[in-house]
Amino acid sequence: MNYIGIDIGGMSIKGGIVSSAGEILKKEVVTTNPWADDDVIVGDIASLIKSLIGDGAESVKGIGLGIPGTVDGKKGRVSVTPNINLTGTCLVKKLHAYFPDVPIKISNDANCAALGEALFGSEKLDDAVLVTLGTGVGTGIILDGKLFEGNGGAGAEGGHMVIKTGGEKCGCGRRGCWEAYASASALIRQTRMAAEKNPDSILAKIVKEDGEVNGKTVFKAQSEGCPVAQKVIKKYLVYVGDGIVNLVNIFRPKAVIVGGGISKEGERIIKPLQAYVNRKAYAPKFSPKVKVMPATLFNDAGIIGAAALVMDI
């Protein structure tokens, strides 16, 4: 059986035909028109799905979609999405006008990524938390093999738990949110500040040569033996680790899966995060150990997880 998975983003809409084994058989991408009328955006999504299906409509058993923001899967409605004009859109109803006989389900994009990683990543997991370190911090939670979405699909926003009262201002309006310290955006800010304060450091030299700061900059400097970079990374991983420990203490999953571009640094971040969780999680000598592991599906997790919404697993 084959399924359609759609991953909607502010810049692009990615779609794929996904097998019941979680393999992407065909993939296409179209540009998002984020501030067009919602009927236009839905039409673009429908066109992408039609292009993927081609003449094989009868072989597609369901369509799943992941959307950033708060998504009420039970009502088939996008409650709010920050960067796309789909707020308040009854997306499932509108898509059923194009595909009346096909089951359609929707969820938050981070939830879909978590589902994809848990079901089809390097290990199949029935209890897992996905933490995505990107522009913000996204979290997705799988409990007893089921996606936890919260009331009205508005739960699982781990990036907005406070780790430092009165701390850095977050984009959500609160201060001290985990996202304000542990996102890739936060790491870039921390890197830039460290370079400015240490103009003679290897880190500052690399920033000057590259002409920009990105998520890789501080790791590049660390590889060249820069103690300033090492200090930035160590402090950043404490921020990341504190949030992960909080999630571990609440859910005690079998694994925490770390995604986002920073996760590609591999053992340089996974090993210290594992050690931090081992030390700091509640009652470490008596509680089940939680594995910290890198995401393996990367940009395909959203497509695969969206398709999994309509799989009978």
Reported as a single tens digit per residue, the pLDDT across 9-49 is 989 999 999 999 999 999 999 999 999 999 999 999 999 99
> Does 56 have pLDDT greater than 80?
no
> Does 65 have pLDDT greater than 80?
yes
253 Cβ neighbours under 8 A, 6+ residues apart: 125, 127, 128, 129, 141, 142, 143, 247, 290
In the chain, the percentage of residues whose pLDDT exceeds 90 is 95
pLDDT tens figures, 77-108: 999 998 899 999 999 999 999 999 999 999 99
Residues 61, 11 contacting (CB under 8 angstroms):
no
Residue 76 has a CB neighbour count (10 Å cut-off) of 19
Distance CA 44, CA 42 (A): 5
> Does 55 have pLDDT greater than 80?
no
Distance CA 28, CA 50 (A): 11
Tell me how far CA of residue 70 lies from CA of 2, 25, 160, in angstroms: 27, 29, 13
Distance CA 306, CA 304 (A): 6
Average pLDDT over residues 70-80: 97
Spatial CA neighbour of 277 closest among 253, 236, 242, 251: 242
Q: Beta partners for 294?
A: 258
> Does 313 have pLDDT greater than 80?
no
The whole-model pTM stands at 0.92
Residues 123, 82 contacting (CB under 8 angstroms):
no
Q: What is the structure's pLDDT at 54?
A: 86
> Does 161 have pLDDT greater than 70?
yes
Distance CA 18, CA 11 (A): 22
pLDDT tens figures, 270-294: 999 999 999 999 999 999 999 999 9
Residues 112, 64 contacting (CB under 8 angstroms):
yes
Residue 208 has a CB neighbour count (10 Å cut-off) of 10
Helix (H), strand (E), coil (C) string for the chain: CEEEEEEECCCEEEEEEEECCCCEEEEEEEECCCCCCHHHHHHHHHHHHHHHHCCCHHHEEEEEEEECCEEECCCCEEEECCCCCCCCCCHHHHHHCCCCCCCEEEEEHHHHHHHHHHHHCCCCCCCEEEEEECCCEEEEEEECCEEECCHHHCCCCHHHCECCCCCCECCCCCECECHHHHCHHHHHHHHHHHHHHCCCCHHHHHHHHHCCCCCCHHHHHHHCCCHHHHHHHHHHHHHHHHHHHHHHHHHCCCEEEEECHHHHHCHHHHHHHHHHHHHHCCCCCCCCCCEEEECCCHHHHHHHHHHHCCCCC
Q: What is the structure's pLDDT at 57?
A: 67
Q: What is the structure's pLDDT at 139?
A: 96
Q: What is the structure's pLDDT at 30?
A: 96
Q: How confident is the model at residue 119 (pLDDT cuts 50, 70, 90)?
A: very high
pLDDT tens figures, 174-198: 999 999 999 999 999 999 999 999 9
Average pLDDT over residues 225-239: 98
Q: What is the structure's pLDDT at 289?
A: 96
In the chain, the percentage of residues whose pLDDT exceeds 70 is 99
Q: What is the structure's pLDDT at 223?
A: 97
Q: Please state the length of the chain.
A: 313
Q: How confident is the model at residue 244 (pLDDT cuts 50, 70, 90)?
A: very high
